[in-house]
Structures are given as C-alpha cells and as structure tokens.
Chains A and B, each alone.
Chain A
Amino acid sequence: DTGVSQNPRHKITKRGQNVTFRCDPISEHNRLYWYRQTLGQGPEFLTYFQNEAQLEKSRLLSDRFSAERPKGSFSTLEIQRTEQGDSAMYLCASSLRSGGIQETQYFGPGTRLLVL
C-alpha cells in the first residue's frame, strides 16, 4: 500500500495523559498536513510541513499540541495533558508541491482519539 498511513487507528486515553500519533506520507510527497475533525464537522487545519520545516500552525493549536517531521518523511503529532475536548479524528494528508503547480492532497485513514 503506497498511500498515506496513520497509526494508531484508534486511541482511548484518560484525561491528562499524553498521546502521540504518527503519519507516514506518500514517499515522494514533500508537504504534510494535519487536520482535526469532530463529529458532524468538516476537517479543520492544524499545521503543515514542507519537508522538515513546519511552515504554519493554526490558532486552533494550543501549546499542548506539537508536531514534528524531523527527517522530512514521517510526522508525529503529540497532545500533552489531553482534555475531553481533544476527542476527535486526527487526519493527515500529504501532497507534492512542485513549482506553482496546484497539488492534490491525499488523506490517510485518520486516528480516532477518545479522551475519557
């Protein structure tokens, strides 16, 4: 399977615990995006990387959230001191940005987080 993969697919945690999610993009893609989706809503942008550089973070992203893409390949999204409001589907997408050509984002299956 050469698509975007995310692990774990599901995570249940107690409030206050830290959780980390991983996203493996399509191998040649240089851009990687993280989104959050709550029930009945469309995805919300969280942050994105071009190669290893984190170019933008949404104002939605509190200090408890941190994302890395250390080698410009896979990325991790960590949530510290989880709150019940963090319960959502966390989606990763990747794309290939080449010059000024518009790129299509390819989405992973998501990680569904439930904070009890």
Chain B
Amino acid sequence: KNEVEQSPQNLTAQEGEFITINCSYSVGISALHWLQQHPGGGIVSLFMLSSGKKKHGRLIATINIQEKHSSLHITASHPRDSAVYICAVRSREADTGNQFYFGTGTSLTVIP
C-alpha cells in the first residue's frame, strides 16, 4: 500500500470549472507538499503545508492533520493549469533523507 494516495488519477474539466484534487496519507508527517509537473518533466513546488490553509492566486491548499487528508483546489480553471499534480509528504521520522513519500499524481486536463 502506498503511503500517499491521490484521487482522482485523471481529471478532465471545462475551462472555468472549480477543481478539487484529494490526497490521503498514512504516515505521521511534518509537512505536506503539492507539486505541479508539466509535460516534459519539470516540477514546480506549489505549496508546503503543515496545518490549515494556504492560497496563492487561483490555487488553494488545505490540510486536516487529524484526518491525514489534504485537498488542492483550483478556482476558475484554465487550460494552462493542465499538468500532473503530485502530493508529497515529509514523514515525521528521525531526520533522514528518505523522508519524502510521493503520490502517483493526478493528471489534469482543462479543455477550452
């Protein structure tokens, strides 16, 4: 079983729709990251969360530590939002490098 599960795996939306991507994890964490991966492989870090909610432009990320769940929301989606969105958690283990667990990603396609 993966330590990080994302849903849905694939998502197609019409431009302007409100989008939600979910992430559940099974380990104790010190932080959760949302990453955006563009076609061709480039990865951009969108958010790092340890509690509550963060907003950046049309993107909103929330986390519920008790429920071990996070959501990434995109308001007024646009075709340029089309990418793979990856949830990654930093485990609350001893400070070692093998501390990041990644979900398999949600592939988002926004149609004009």
Q: Interface on A for B, CB 8 Å cutoff?
A: 33, 37, 40-45, 47-48, 55-56, 58, 89, 91, 93, 102, 104-107, 109-110, 112
Contacts and interface: CB of A to CB of B under 8 A. Distances in A.
Contact residues of A: prevailing secondary structure? strand
Contacts of A37: 41
Contacts of B96: 55-56
Interface of B: 4, 30-31, 33, 35, 40-45, 48, 50, 86, 88, 90, 96-98, 100, 102-105
Closest 10 pairs (CB-CB, A-B): A48-B97, A42-B102, A56-B97, A107-B43, A110-B41, A42-B104, A109-B42, A102-B31, A43-B102, A56-B96
Contact residues of B: prevailing secondary structure? strand
Contacts of A42: 4, 86, 88, 102-105
A104 B97 contact: no
A112 B40 CA distance: 9
B45 A107 contact: yes
Contacts of B40: 109
